[in-house]
């Protein structure tokens, strides 16, 4: 009971501090991509949006991280991607020690070297990132080292066809406050749960933790209870996550939402699957890989790839996805 009370007290204090210090402007920081060049080759405004998604990757090239990165470069060139999304756990095992340490170069800059990957990388934090200096990943100093890097606790990318909300989901999971498994987590500046929920109004949402998953961690109870109803109410089309070290696609049986897991950027968990709640399951792969998402005004195309670039699963939606809902 003591820990429960402590967590609730922290939560109330965090709301007060956050509202007074961070939300004077009334919304999350926005990144506008309209009119920016695509990898130096062609300009935006062509009616298409394409990006790759990779998660749980930062291992200095080990556990097939370099192989996955190489294939991402090949697919990225083929699709002429606009940017890359990272679903968190960017640096293992314990995040970054500081903005000046070697891990950023060793696990990011020196690994993702292909020409097609020299574009925006939009990243959220995962639970492993909180074990180190979480705020180091937000530092402008990292963007001076590698201008591709962009990471905040939560933010919105305006990309013509879609507004993509990046949500810091780790603080929403109560167990990390009540049972840290002898790890120290950096909670400085964390946006509280209540503010997240009231700002999810668009079509694509990216977070580290899964809402639906048959992987090792399974469904995340807090997200099912608090986040999913908001996504449904606002007609979100895709929720994209990492955390489970696999690739998977689950369609919600009660709404339009497609749950897409891309957490296989390096170490994978072979044979680790939940047997319960498999309704809506379209695809599951327990090896390394990544995914792509291509959008136009009228359709969406999803593809999952393994570490050798082999297409494992595709899915198409033929509808007008990104009309204004506001």
d(CA 78, CA 295): 15
Contacts of 264 (CB under 8 A, 6+ apart): 54, 55, 56, 68, 245, 246, 247, 285, 287, 288, 289, 290
**Count of residues making up the chain:** 326
Give the Cα separation of 12 and 8 in Å (integer): 6
Preceding amide of 93 cis, omega within 30: yes
Sign of the alpha-carbon dihedral angle for 296, 301, 304, 308: negative
What is the tens place of the pLDDT at every residue in 138-148? 999 999 999 99
Candidates 211, 203, 205; CA nearest to 155 is 205
pLDDT digits (tens, 9 = 90+) for 305-315: 999 999 999 99
**Cα dist. 86→1, 142, 207, 273 in Å?**
36, 16, 9, 23
Calculated CA dihedral for residues 205, 210, 211, 216, nearest 10 degrees: 170
Instruction: Write out the binding residues.
Output: 56, 89, 92, 127, 208, 243, 245
Residue 255 CA: distances (Å) to CA of 75, 184, 251, 265: 31, 38, 8, 29
pLDDT of the residue at 153: 87
Active site includes 217? yes
Rounded Cα distance between 270 and 246, Å, is 8
* Residue whose C-alpha is closest to residue 123's, from 185, 169, 166, 163: 166
User: Class of 28-318 per CATH?
Assistant: alpha beta
The band of 224, judged by pLDDT with boundaries at 50, 70 and 90, is very high
Q: Do residues 236 and 200 touch, judged by C-beta distance below 8 A? A: yes
pLDDT band at 5 (very low <50, low <70, confident <90, very high): very low
Annotated binding-site residue numbers for Fe cation: 56, 89, 92, 127, 208, 243, 245
What is the token pair recorded at 193? 């749960």
Q: For residue 170, count CB atoms less than 10 angstroms from its CB and return exposed for 0-12, middle for 13-18, buried for 19 or more.
A: buried
Both tokens of 213, joined, read: 């998953």
How many C-beta neighbours within 10 Å does residue 261 have?
32
Query: SS3 of 167, please?
Result: strand
Predicted local distance difference test score (pLDDT) of residue 25 = 31
d(CA 87, CA 81): 17
CA distance 222 to 228: 9
Q: How many CB atoms lie within 10 A of CB 270?
A: 9
What is the reported pLDDT for 41? 41
Q: Per residue in 262-277, pLDDT tens?
A: 999 999 988 877 776 7
Model's pTM, two decimal places? 0.83
* Average pLDDT over every residue of 37-46: 50
Burial of residue 80 (CB within 10 Å: 0-12, 13-18, 19+) is middle
CA distance readout (Å), 78 to 115, 122, 219: 11, 20, 34
CA distance linking residue 220 with residue 57, whole number of Å: 21
| Structure confidence at residue 205 as a pLDDT band (50, 70, 90) | very high
The single residue of 217, 249, 254, 323 carrying the catalytic annotation is: 217
- The single residue listed with the structure tokens 């965090």 is 14
Higher pLDDT pick, 27 / 122 = 122
């Amino acid at each position: 009971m003591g820990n429960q009370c402590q967590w609730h007290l922290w939560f109330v204090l965090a709301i007060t501090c956050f509202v007074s210090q961070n939300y004077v402007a009334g919304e999350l920081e926005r990144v506008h991509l309209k009119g920016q060049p695509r990898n130096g080759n062609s300009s935006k405004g062509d009616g298409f949006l394409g990006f790759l998604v990779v998660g749980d990757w930062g291992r200095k090239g080990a556990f097939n991280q370099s192989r996955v990165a190489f294939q991402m470069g090949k697919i990225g060139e083929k699709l002429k991607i606009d940017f890359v999304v990272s679903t968190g756990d960017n640096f293992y095992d314990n995040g970054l020690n500081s903005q000046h340490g070697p891990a950023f170069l060793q696990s990011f800059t020196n690994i993702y070297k292909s020409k097609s990957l020299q574009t925006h990388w939009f990243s959220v934090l995962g639970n492993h990132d909180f074990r180190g200096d979480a705020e180091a990943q937000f530092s402008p100093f990292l963007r001076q080292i590698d201008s591709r890097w962009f990471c905040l606790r939560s933010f919105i990318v305006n990309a013509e066809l879609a507004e993509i909300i990046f949500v810091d989901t780790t603080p929403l999971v109560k167990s990390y406050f009540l049972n840290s498994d002898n790890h120290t987590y950096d909670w400085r500046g964390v946006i509280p749960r209540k503010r997240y929920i009231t700002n999810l109004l668009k079509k694509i949402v990216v977070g580290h933790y899964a809402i639906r998953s048959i992987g090792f961690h399974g469904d995340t109870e807090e997200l099912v209870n608090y986040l999913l109803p908001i996504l449904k109410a606002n007609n979100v089309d895709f929720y994209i996550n990492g955390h489970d070290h696999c690739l998977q696609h689950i369609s919600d049986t009660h709404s339009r939402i497609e749950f897409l897991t891309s957490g296989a950027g390096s170490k994978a968990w072979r044979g680790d699957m939940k047997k319960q709640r498999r309704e809506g399951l379209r695809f599951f792969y327990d090896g390394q890989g990544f995914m792509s998402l291509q959008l136009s005004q009228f359709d969406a195309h999803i593809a999952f790839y393994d570490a050798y670039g082999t297409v494992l699963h595709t899915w198409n939606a033929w509808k007008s996805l990104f009309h204004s809902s506001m």
